[in-house]
A and B are shown apart, each in its own frame.
Chain A
Amino acid sequence: MVVPAPSHNGNGAATPSGFSGARRSIGSPQFSIRRMEVDQLSVSYAAREAVKSVSLPIRQGEVLAMIGPSGCGKTTLLRSLNRLTELTRTARVSGRILLDDVDIGLIEPTLLRRRVTMVFQQPNPFPMSVFDNIAYVLREQGSRRQRRKTLEPQVHSALDRAGLFEEVKDNLDHPALRLSGGQQQRLCIARALAAEPEVLLLDEPCSALDPQSTQVIEDLIVNLRDDVAVVIVTHNLQQAYRIADHVAFMYLGDLVEYGAATTVFGSPREKRTQEYVSGAFG
Chain B
Amino acid sequence: MSATTLTARRRERVLPPAVTGQELILIGVIALLWVLLALANPGFLAPYSIQNMLWRLAPVGIMAIGMTIIIVTAGIDISIAAILMVCSVTIAKLIAENGWNFWLAVGVSLVIGAALGAINGVLISYGRVPAIIITFGTANLFQFLGLRIFNSKTVNGLPAERGILGPGEGGRFLGLPIAFIIMVVLVAFAWYYLRHFPGGRHFYAIGDDERAAALAGVNVRRRIFLAYLVTGLLVGLAAAITIAGGTSTLDQNVGKGQELVTIAATVIGGTSIMGGRGSVLGAVLGALLVQTVSSGVTQLGWPSQLSNLFVGLFIVVAVGADLIRERRRKAKL
> Do A and B come together as binding partners?
no
Chain A interfacial positions (CB closer than 8 Å to B)? none
Chain B interfacial positions (CB closer than 8 Å to A)? none
